[in-house]
Amino acid sequence: MKIIVTDIPDLKIIEPRVFSDDRGYFLETWNAQSFSRAGLNWTFVQDNQSKSHRNVLRGLHYQIQSPQAKLVRVVTGAIYDVAVDLRRGSPTFGRWAGAELSETNHRMMLIPTGFAHGFLSLADETQLVYKCTDFYASQHERTIMWNDPDLAIAWPLAAGEQPIVSSKDAMGRGLQEADVFA
């Protein structure tokens, strides 16, 4: 596998080795030994799957207690995946990085704890799966506004186009008012 370091060094893009032939392809999406050899020692306890239509934007979510690291990948379709550093003591606090993950590029994003996560579906039907290092705890979940001007995330939307967001995500806080990690 190939590890791509983003502008935020703790946030990684993983390109797995894909074996293709006339029947299709095969790839390993998680191998504890391979990840450990690469210095990525993670223990996952929960797997999630979501399906989204084009222009659905989910996030930016995080858990202030019981924080979750995530390994995100797309099974069908494509997303623009974004992570925001919410670790106050980090030199990259308040910065974001994004990457396209798709069924054709097979890339995965490895998001450490202390980050908010969100994505925009770029296809008519997108299914993604992600592994988490801690269990979902709704009482600790927080949301940052997807369009916070302080973050200025460059979501790949056409000029004037608005994403489809849940009522919860529409009520997200700005970074300046958000609960963040020490």
The 3-class SS string of the chain reads: CEEEECCCCCCEEEECCEEEECCEEEECCCCHHHHHHCCCCCCCCEEEEEEEECCEEEEEEEECCCCCCEEEEEEECEEEEEEEECECCCCCCCCEEEEEEECCCCCEEEECCCEEEEEEECCCEEEEEEEECCCCCHHHEEEECCCCCCCCCCCCCCCCCCCECCHHHHCCECHHHCCCEC
Q: Both tokens of residue 93?
A: 């606090």
Is 61 in the active site? yes
Question: What is the spatial distance between Cα 82 and Cα 49, in angstroms, rounded to a whole number?
Answer: 17
Catalytic residue among 25, 106, 130, 136: 130
Is 53 in the active site? no
Active site residues: 61, 130
